[in-house]
Amino acid sequence: MRQLIFIMTSISLFSCGRNFKIAKNNLNIVPYRGNEIMIFESDKHDRDTIFLEGVENYSTPLGDFELFPDKHEIYRVRDKRTNPNYDRYLEGNSLIELVALEGGTSITFDIAMKRSRYYGKYSFGKSEFDRIPLTELRINDFSYNDVKVFESDGSYEERDDYAERFYWSVENGFLGIDRRDEKWRLIKKYVP
């Protein structure tokens, strides 16, 4: 009888936490290797640079106070970018982050640059992301035909750095952001 209780207790202890993994084909959502430098220019002829500082891939529990928490895989692209409100760089941000959840993969964006921050909806399920239609965006003499436009929901529109929308190319990533009075576009992306 003791052996049966021991076996049942062991099974329940070791089978409580689940591991959620990001499907390999979902990693294609992230079009970066993590060492790119992206240069943007505004329609006011100002420049800003985003430095990608690597890709992190790890698993972590997301729930608080669980005895045997589930582990969720996270895949994120770290960056160093201009603080939207001050003349300095901020490190340790994530331009894009994928998280494996029970219902699939979550895609989260953190879009900000000089004098501009996107406050709208920033987290999407994979199927929701896929349903966003593709459009064309022309930057100088180049045309991107695989662009998803993310429109703000009006949250924090009274702020000076409020951005109305941002542009994401399926193949090339972050292309630009629009404020009411200034538009930023990617003019160069390279690996040093």
Would you list the DSSP string of 137-159?
A: EEETTEEEEEEEEEE--STTTTS
pLDDT at 64: 66
Decide if 24 is inside a domain: yes
185 and 38 Cβ atoms separated by less than 8 Å? no
Q: Tens of pLDDT along 145-162?
A: 999 999 999 999 999 999
Decide if 5 is inside a domain: no
**Domains in the chain, number:** 1
pLDDT band at 65 (very low <50, low <70, confident <90, very high): low
- Quote the domain boundaries for residue 146: 18-190
pLDDT band at 6 (very low <50, low <70, confident <90, very high): very low
pLDDT at 187: 97
Decide if 110 is inside a domain: yes
pLDDT at residue 70 greater than cutoff 90: no
pLDDT at residue 127 greater than cutoff 70: yes
pTM assigned to the model: 0.86
Decide if 171 is inside a domain: yes
Decide if 60 is inside a domain: yes
Decide if 8 is inside a domain: no
pLDDT at 3: 62
pLDDT band at 168 (very low <50, low <70, confident <90, very high): very high
Q: What percent of the chain has pLDDT over 70?
A: 89
- Other beta carbons less than 10 A from residue 48's beta carbon: 17
Which helix (H) or strand (E) is 5 found in, with range?
Answer: helix 2-14
| Averaged pLDDT score across all residues of the chain | 89
> Which whole-number Å values give the CA distances from 178 to 100, 115, 191, in the listed order?
30, 11, 25
pLDDT at 97: 96
Q: How far apart are CA 28 and CA 8, in angstroms?
A: 42
> Which whole-number Å values give the CA distances from 186 to 100, 159, 173, in the listed order?
29, 24, 10
pLDDT at residue 183 greater than cutoff 90: yes
Decide if 12 is inside a domain: no
Decide if 68 is inside a domain: yes
> Which whole-number Å values give the CA distances from 170 to 75, 107, 116, in the listed order?
17, 13, 22
